[in-house]
Amino acid sequence: MQETTFLENNETMMENLKNIPVMEKFDDQELNRLLEMSKIRKYKAGECIVEEGLSDTWLYFLMYGRIKITKQGKEIALLSRRGEVFGEMGALDSSRRSASAHAVTDTVCLATDIFYLEKLTGNEKLAFGYVFYRLMSEILSRRLRQTTEAFIQAKGRINLKFW
């Protein structure tokens, strides 16, 4: 993996972020704050980005490339759209990673260290935190809906009863 230093006042990255749908909710000041907590990380095909069972505070936004998400060695998702987010669960609740992420192709991610969110104070913490956690809530809600739909389909195929 190759990585940059933290991205303070990076106009090029600001413009790139503004073109990612998931970043639409952030204003310029909030995007700058996000960059201050972020690095660009480049991975070669086959490199591990996140390892199941380990702990850290990094959240990832896919800039380009393809990422395979696996759980206990089984593929559960393939990410290829710019702006897709992964690593959010472990970053948000500081628990061990529930899955692994590997670069399928050469891949570039914006890696954000959520640890720094807790260091914000006052109105800045409230404003940025609100937008950030709202975004995470929307992502987790969408994934829960997808998981529920997949569960219902699987339940129908194997005729399980839980209640």
Could you tell me the domains of the chain? 2-118 (2.60.120.10)
Q: Cβ distance 98 to 51 under 8 Å? A: no
Q: Is the model's pLDDT at 163 over the cut of 60? A: no
- At 143, the pLDDT band (50, 70, 90 cuts) reads confident
Reported as a single tens digit per residue, the pLDDT across 33-47 is: 888 889 999 999 999
Amino acid, single-letter form, for residue 71: K
Q: Give whole-number Cα distances, 49 to 3, 23, 68, in Å.
A: 12, 22, 10
CA distance 116 to 77: 28
Reported as a single tens digit per residue, the pLDDT across 1-53 is: 999 888 777 788 888 888 888 887 788 888 888 888 899 999 999 999 999 99
Where are the extended beta strands (E) located within 14-160?
A: 38-43, 48-50, 58-64, 67-71, 74-79, 85-86, 100-103, 107-113
Q: Cβ distance 23 to 75 under 8 Å? A: no
